[in-house]
Amino acid sequence: MEIYIISAIFIALALYIYSKTRRRKQEPFPKKWHKLLLDNVHFYSSLSKEKQLVFQNRMMQFLSEVYIESVGFTLTDLDKVFVACSAVIPVFGFDEWHYNNLSGVLLYPDHFNNDMEFDSKAESRSIGGIVGNGRLENQMIFSRKALYSGFLNKTDKNNTGIHEFVHLIDKMDGIVDGIPEALIPHQYAMPWLKLIHKEIEAINDDKSDIRQYGGTNQAEFFAVASEYFFERPDLLRVKHPELYKMMKECFNQKPQSAT
């Protein structure tokens, strides 16, 4: 497994250096991706034809600014589509958005552990995605299996791709703390904090249908609640109307449920 760890670090460093020295020209949207999106990404299929064109352009803009590489398998079109969608969906309510704190995305074939091991013999392989720090700063790593599950299971409230990109948005002000200054105006910070703590308390008292992991801390609550908002917005509106209203204002959009 050491060779995969070294390979991942090498790829991450290479992507970072290359992204700092050269920006690629934005490529045209591949026509065959339209069907991939319609078949696999409800957020996209629920958009009007005009908004779908905007979404396509935003995907290609993201892919011109961020490199995607695979470790241990050959990258496919659907891999690229799911990564790009994970990036675009949370910020689709804003006309202009660039992930200035991201240069590359690495895809592992399966869940991995803290040592970046994903082999079936490795212990504690429970990580589906991380926003890199230290030697992996400006990088993001996904389990391909977890990434796919987030889009192909349309009845749950989970989406690993969206979860990690929400963390990245949160990190844009320098700290991942559940209070993304890029999305939440200063005057709403205190009401948002009060709501977070009320919801976290409910989770930890087993009085909420929000995923247990959201009760870990403010940052994880924000990411988990965002998954819920984009995966099952109608259910969130019924179960947690105050949270739904705040998330709608935060992301400046009103997504449609698949169910």
In a domain, 71, yes or no: yes
Helix or strand run (H / E) with residue 140: strand 139-143
Domain, as residue range, for 79: 2-156
Q: Is 168 exposed, middle or buried (0-12, 13-18, 19+ CB in 10 A)?
A: buried
pLDDT at 170: 96
pLDDT at 14: 55
In a domain, 249, yes or no: no
Q: Give me 5's structure tokens.
A: 């760890």
pLDDT at 186: 79
pLDDT at 12: 55
For 166-217, write each residue's pLDDT tens digit. Answer: 999 999 999 999 999 989 887 888 999 999 999 999 999 999 999 999 999 9
The number of folded domains in the chain is 1
In a domain, 214, yes or no: no
In a domain, 112, yes or no: yes
pLDDT at 23: 60
For 91-129, write each residue's pLDDT tens digit. Answer: 999 998 999 999 999 999 998 888 777 766 667 778 999
pLDDT at 11: 55
pLDDT at 157: 93
Distance, CA of 78 to CA of 213 (rounded, Å): 28
Residue 139 has pLDDT above 70, yes or no: yes
Per DSSP, helices labelled H in 22-105 are 33-40, 42-45, 49-65, 77-88
For 231-251, write each residue's pLDDT tens digit. Answer: 999 999 999 999 999 999 999
pLDDT at 121: 66
pLDDT at 128: 92
For 18-46, write each residue's pLDDT tens digit. Answer: 544 446 789 999 999 999 999 999 999 99
In a domain, 192, yes or no: no
For 57-98, write each residue's pLDDT tens digit. Answer: 999 999 999 999 999 899 999 999 999 999 999 999 999 899
Per DSSP, helices labelled H in 90-204 are 144-152, 160-171, 189-204
In a domain, 108, yes or no: yes
Residue 139's DSSP bridge partners are 104
Closest to 241 in 3D by CA, of 103, 249, 120, 135: 249
Q: What is the CATH number of the domain that holds 150?
A: 1.10.472.150
In a domain, 135, yes or no: yes
- Report residue 84: phi and psi, to 5°: -65, -40
Q: Which residues contact 187 (CB under 8 A, 6 or more apart)?
A: none
Closest to 108 in 3D by CA, of 67, 146, 142: 142
In a domain, 63, yes or no: yes
pLDDT at 10: 54
